[in-house]
Structure 1
Amino acid sequence: MIPVFDGHNDILLKLLRCDPAMLDATWLVGDGAGHLDLARMRKGGFAGGFFAIYIPSPRDGQNYDAMMDHPPYDVPLPPLIDAPAAQPTALAMAGILLRMERVSQGGFKVCRTTAEVRDCLARGVVAGIMHMEGAEAIGPDLDALYSFHALGLRSIGPVWSRPTVFGHGVPFRFPGDPDTGPGLTEVGKDLIRACNALKIMVDLSHINEAGFNDVAAISDAPLVATHSNAHAITPSTRNLTDRQLAVIRDSGGMVGLNFATVFLRPDGRQSPEMDWQPVLRHLDHLITHLGEDHVGFGSDFDGATIPQGIGDVTGLPDLLVALSGHGYDAPLLHKLASENWLSLLDRTWGA
């Protein structure tokens, strides 16, 4: 089984919402729902990945899933959430990640260096990287960035899709393109410089095109989109244009293929009823425009609707079989599955 290192998942949000008395069991053996738990990770060859701290928006009773299964759609963005409101949830999710390490009895480790990630993969321990999807919990003074870094934060996206004090994300719109508004604020530019100084990876997956351009102009690190796809195949605002792919390639960066059906299907629908062709078309396009050393997986497990052929984390071997049948040889499969992510971390954090 080829081990897979993954660019993005949302299991922390799932665990935050579960019955606290069932949290450990839900993590270790599962609850029969969702995409991830430690037992299924082992079964599916999931070797590690980025575990997202995400601040959910207040629920407004709208059925956005139904809207996104009937394009065209333009999902309204929720308002900004400030740091005082976001920090308790972010701290709780960071605590859950650290608790996952403690209760796993050596089966899972929160990693802070590339060496730790590589050691985990060598020993069959699932490696977790603390990631922040949207920097709501980091106030404009940036002090909290240093606190979360001390807890283990090693990757951050300045925005999810709603705005933050740092910049603007893209709405969930199909069809559409990522040129949807202004770029980084001045404090957003300060955030990128601080992340560079701390060797915190900056994730561009939800940022709009102007913000993308600002990060590219400021950052001295490889540009990374942990869970994004090709706009040329699926014209969603969340997907990357060929120009953006070229900028990422030239920085020595990377893109993780998002398994979310709305970003894979050419028709933009959310339905999981699809064959392998959209996955193959996106990967072919990303490899053509980025090179085979700059593409990996960014599943969005537990945060999106996934193609029925994958289903959950135990479907990763089926994905690799499909890629092999498409003509991807063993060296390329190993690059896509984990080697490219490890090399990217070397370039971003240092070996």
Structure 2
Amino acid sequence: MAESFPVAVFDGHNDTLLRLIEKMTNDPVADFIRGDGLGHIDLPRARKGGLAGGFFACFSPSPRSGSGFADGMSGASYDVPLPPRLDEAVARRYVARMISLLARIERHSEGALRVCRSGREVRAAIAEGVFAVLLHIEGAEAIDPELAMLDVLHAAGLRSLGPVWSRPTIFGEGVPFRFPATPDIGGGLTEAGKALVKRCNELGILVDLSHLNAAGFDDVASLTDAPLVATHSNAHALCPHARNLTDAQLAAIGASKGMVGLNFATAFLREDGQMDRRTPLETMLRHLDHLVEKAGEDCVGLGSDFDGAEIPQEIRDVAGLPHLVAAMRAHGYGEPLIRKICLENWLGVIDRTLKD
């Protein structure tokens, strides 16, 4: 794969597993392996775009009511009501379905895709031209207060975990989808949340800060012995959305030798906070410039949010990643920095966080 495209990409976040199970087709495994042309990611388009692998999220959606969630993210300002806490049993069913789907995709891919459990395994897969997947859970609702399920999930391959997806959990509070707003909204981690972070450190599970509020971010920073990582977040200084990171948070990530992955979601890129596919690539480059300036060039990567967000039409889907790389070159980024942002920085933080 890397030979057909000179810059291999490792991506910090996608919601492809949820897209596949929600399609309600007879064979989502074949849809991914052979390519269904829907959504943002399948294996043929990943190869075309140079995607060497990434974090695949298990996300448990709340029951839908009324208009779609993204419909509320419009107007000069907005504050989208968050769903209530999700029942643990419901979340477990979703997580089990998505992990099962990923296992079946791996089994039927004939060696083209591999679920990895360490940095060494990720590097080996990419070197072999095998699509490297790290299992992530976005929102820890499926995990009990005693953390027994965390051990089960780790044994199943879990290597990255976000304690919250914006809506509250027993572990803490997330940031709402509010614009304009700072991430300094609500309380931090609960005692159960603090225990979760410590146990993730012991197991070598990456703790994702992307949907945590400022207090939760600070709690993780004070507790963890691992790098601080926000897999899919942008610069608050350029887009004052509650989901984005302040300069102080970016500096903390850099000081910990952590990572921030540029989120392609247009509402977190644009100065006006709108979901608008007409967002130019230059807007993404301004965020990359800022992230590199505040966190450091060794601590910035890509965290697309493919299959979970409205992304710029110039990219369209994973096959459009070369357009972003070309824009980086035209913007003046040298090849060493491009390789860092696209691949090497993620491999470095994975090495520093996961345990063999």
Q: 1:151 corresponds to which residue? A: 156
Q: Offset at 1:33?
A: 1.7
**Which residue of structure 1 lines up, in the alignment, with residue 353 of structure 2?**
348
Answer whether contact 2:29 2:101 (CA < 8 A) is retained: no
1:341 aligned partner, one-letter code: W
What residue is the counterpart of 1:234 in the other structure?
239
Shift in Å at residue 25 of structure 1?
2.3
SS of the residue 2:197 aligns to = helix
CA displacement 1:69-116 (0-9 Å, x = unmatched): 333111001000132221111111111111110111111000001111
Render the CA deviation track for 1:291-339: whole Å, top value 9, x for unaligned: 1000000000000001011110001011000000000000000000100
- What residue number does 1:132 align with? 137
TM-superposed deviation, 1:350: 4.6
Aligned counterparts of 2:117 and 2:71: Cα–Cα separation in 1:
39
Q: Judge conservation of contact 1:158–1:203 (CA < 8 Å) in 2.
A: yes
2:336 paired residue among 312, 331, 338: 331
Question: One-letter code of the match for 1:213?
Answer: D
Question: How far apart, CA to CA, are the structure 1 residues paired with 2:355 and 2:65?
Answer: 43
Q: Secondary structure at the match of 2:260?
A: strand
What are the equivalent positions in structure 2 for 1:95-114 lying under 5 Å apart? Answer: 95-114=100-119
1:161 aligns with 2:166: yes
Secondary structure at the counterpart of residue 169 of structure 1: coil
Deviation at 1:55, TM superposition (A): 0.4
1:1-351 matches, within 5 Å, as 1=5, 2-350=7-355
SS in 2 for 1:127: strand
Which shows bigger deviation, 324-333 or 70-79?
70-79
Alpha-carbon deviations, 1:30-84, whole Å to 9, x = none?
3232100011001110000000000001101223333313331110010001322
- TM-score normalised by L of structure 1: 0.98
> Percent of counterpart pairs with the same letter?
57
Matched-pair contact (CA < 8 Å) for 1:10–1:301 = yes
User: In the aligned structure 1, how far is the partner of 2:19 from the partner of 2:336?
Assistant: 34
CA distance in 1, matches of 2:143, 2:355: 24
Task: Choose 176-185 or 12-21, whichever is displaced more.
Answer: 12-21
The one-character-per-residue Cα deviations of 1:134-179 (angstroms, maximum 9, x if unpaired) are 0000011100000000000000000001000000001001111101
Aligned partners of 1:250 and 1:350: how far apart in 2?
21
Deviation at 1:6, TM superposition (A): 0.3
The CA distance in 1 between the partners of 2:147 and 2:39, in whole Å, is 34
Q: Which amino acid aligns with 1:177?
A: T
In 2, are the aligned partners of 1:82 and 1:139 still within 8 Å (CA)? no
2: CA distance, partners of 1:297 / 1:280: 12
Is the CA contact 2:203–2:355 (under 8 Å) kept in the aligned structure 1?
no
Gaps of 5+ in 1: none
Q: Tell me how far apart the structure 2 counterparts of residues 159 and 239 of structure 1 sit (CA, whole Å).
A: 15
CA distance in 1, matches of 2:75, 2:32: 33
Using the alignment, how far apart are the partners of 1:289 and 1:275 within structure 2? 22
What RMSD in Å do the two structures reach over aligned CA positions?
1.0
Q: May I ask how many residue pairs the two structures share in their alignment? A: 351
What TM-score results when the alignment is normalised by the length of structure 2?
A: 0.97
Partner secondary structure for residue 154 of structure 1: strand
For 1:281 and 1:331, how far apart are their aligned partners in 2?
19
Counterpart Cα distance in 2 of 1:271 and 1:87: 33
Residue type of the partner of 1:317?
P
Measure the CA separation in 1 of the matches of 2:188 and 2:279.
Answer: 35
- Residues in 1 aligned to 2:301 and 2:189: alpha-carbon distance in whole angstroms: 27
Give me the whole-angstrom Cα distance separating, in 2, the residues matched to 1:212 and 1:49. 23
Instruction: Report deviation, 1:345.
Output: 0.8
Distance 1:63 1:219 in 2: 36
Whether the aligned pair in 1 keeps the contact of 2:9 and 2:50 (CA below 8 Å) is: yes
Contact map agreement 1:272 1:305 (CA 8 A) in 2: yes
